């Protein structure tokens, strides 16, 4: 079979004038390339219109601060009027509240230890603002806050430690005998 009749125009044409379609019995589409062009152009236009926001707003009222602002004051989005419902300033404030340093720590403390940042602050005040082991002040710690030390078996919170002390306990598997052996070792080789 070297020719085929087009379903759209009804003209018999050679197989090379039909688009390849491996799933069809003869390996070609039912309509010829010439009849397929306008259809594909229409499909392309529809797809382009669907994914393109045609009418962009020049100004908008922010849902959070309720002020009328220029479109350039909003981040873009792919639906609706093409702009986020809150302005860039309010968006940053909103993110900082929920994901900021204190907000992220609060979420982490709650899910991991069952504490809030306020509970952390109370513990820190009880310890005099210093690491429970070495006495390093919180302001001297690398991240500006201590690590919450807890028993990995029971999950019970013990105290607040600086990064170094917390890491040492972890590497020593929280084993008091290993820690005492390490202290004896260091004392034995300490030069006076």
Phi/psi of residue 53, nearest 5 degrees? -80, 115
Instruction: Compute the distance between CA of residue 23 and CA of residue 178 in angstroms, rounded to an integer.
Output: 70
Instruction: Compute the distance between CA of residue 42 and CA of residue 157 in angstroms, rounded to an integer.
Output: 65
Instruction: Compute the distance between CA of residue 23 and CA of residue 21 in angstroms, rounded to an integer.
Output: 6
Q: What is the pLDDT of residue 126?
A: 92
Q: What is the pLDDT of residue 180?
A: 93
Q: Which fold has domain 115-188?
A: 3.40.1800
Which sequence spans correspond to the domains of the chain? Answer: 3-51, 59-97, 115-188
CATH tag for 3-51 (out of 3.20.140, 1.10.3110, 3.30.60, 2.50.20): 3.30.60
**Tokens 């929920």 belong to residue:** 98
The residue-averaged pLDDT of 64-82 equals: 85
pLDDT tens, residue by residue, 84-141: 899 998 888 777 666 555 666 777 788 888 888 888 889 988 998 899 998 888 777 6
């Amino acid at each position: 079979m070297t020719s085929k009749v087009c379903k759209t125009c009804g003209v018999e044409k050679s197989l090379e004038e039909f688009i390849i379609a491996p799933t069809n019995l003869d390996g070609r589409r039912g309509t010829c390339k010439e009849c397929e062009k306008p259809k594909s152009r229409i499909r392309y236009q529809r797809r382009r219109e669907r994914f393109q926001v045609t009418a962009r707003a020049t100004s908008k009222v922010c849902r959070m601060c309720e002020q009328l602002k220029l479109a350039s004051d909003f981040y873009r989005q792919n639906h609706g009027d093409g702009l986020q419902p809150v302005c860039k300033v309010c968006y940053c404030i909103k993110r900082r509240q929920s994901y900021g340093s204190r907000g992220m720590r609060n979420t982490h403390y709650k899910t991991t230890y069952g504490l809030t940042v306020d509970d952390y602050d109370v513990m820190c005040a009880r310890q005099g603002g210093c690491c429970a082991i070495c006495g390093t002040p919180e302001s001297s710690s690398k991240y500006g806050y201590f690590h919450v030390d807890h028993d990995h078996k029971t999950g019970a919170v013990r105290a607040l430690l600086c990064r170094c002390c917390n890491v040492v306990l972890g590497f020593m598997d929280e084993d008091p005998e290993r820690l005492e052996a390490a202290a004896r070792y260091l004392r034995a080789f300490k030069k006076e």
